[in-house]
Amino acid sequence: MQKQENAWGKRMSLQKQDYLRGDFKRALFTNRFLIGVAGVVFALFYSLHRMADIASVYTAYMDALYFIPFSVALIFCAVPFAGSFLEDIKHKYIQLLIMRGSLKKYLMSKIIMIYISSAFSMFFGIMLFIVLVRLQVPWALEDEYLYSDILTKVFWENGHHLIFFAIHALFIGLMAGNLAILAAYVSLFWQEELLTIALPFLVYYLIVYYEYGLFGNVAWLNIKQIFNTSYDVWKHPLYTLLWPVCVSLVTIVSVGTGIYKKLGRLYDEEKNHL
């Protein structure tokens, strides 16, 4: 009898892979993820709407990143899953999910999928934008100015243009993931869905607007430059490529710790009300 009860308890309890499996479907296999990708494409094209002519894929991409409308793409990257904590709290799922497993497993799954869904939205959105522009114009003009960063030297100059843009898109995706996790954390204090989705845009816009006042000439602190490999923020190719990864890990751990503490308090408050 005791063995049957233990077996039943194991079947009823949720393991980390169970959380991940459910969140994976919620984050990537929904219309919200498609909206996220399509929204990134829209934001990039909208960023170019004042350009009279698009001469090359390289020019279109670089100009799209530097114009302010690009920051709208960060809103769409938050659409797939940044508001998942709010949904679980609103529908009272969070108590059941934590009771059947643990707060740590629940949190790890959420953070992983918030980050991945946001990064993937940006990555696939940028790559779709690149393909659509390439159908109309060449990769670059013969006399076009190119940044002399490590990706240009290793991939672009050897004709691997799509790989060049894919790696660029990956790093921009890391930035979107960091901002989405920050938005998810803030959503636990101000439980407004629109604010959660808009927060990545607001943070990025304020950083761009006040970047010189905030960071001066310290490029390795400026997220606008950290996640854009065209800026050699450390004046060393390897350090410049590794730095965004390090910043992402610090963000995940620090913000994740804050989310863990806040969720723990919210969960305890809900249990006391029952």
pLDDT at 125: 98
Secondary structure class of 97 (helix, strand, coil): helix
pLDDT at 14: 63
Q: How far is CA 221 from CA 68, 133, 183, in A?
A: 20, 32, 20
Q: Which of 77, 29, 269, 106 is nearest to 183 (CA)?
A: 77
Highest mean pLDDT (candidates 98-102, 169-173, 228-232): 169-173
pLDDT at 231: 86
CA 32, distance to chain mean position in Å, is 14
The one-character DSSP state at 29 is: S
Please write the tens of the pLDDT for every residue from 189-242: 998 999 999 999 999 998 888 887 888 788 888 888 899 888 888 988 889 999
**Number of residues that make up the chain:** 274
Q: Which of 123, 122, 130 is nearest to 54 (CA)?
A: 130
- Is the pLDDT reported for residue 9 higher than 50? no
Please write the tens of the pLDDT for every residue from 15-62: 768 888 999 999 999 999 999 999 999 999 998 887 768 889 999 999
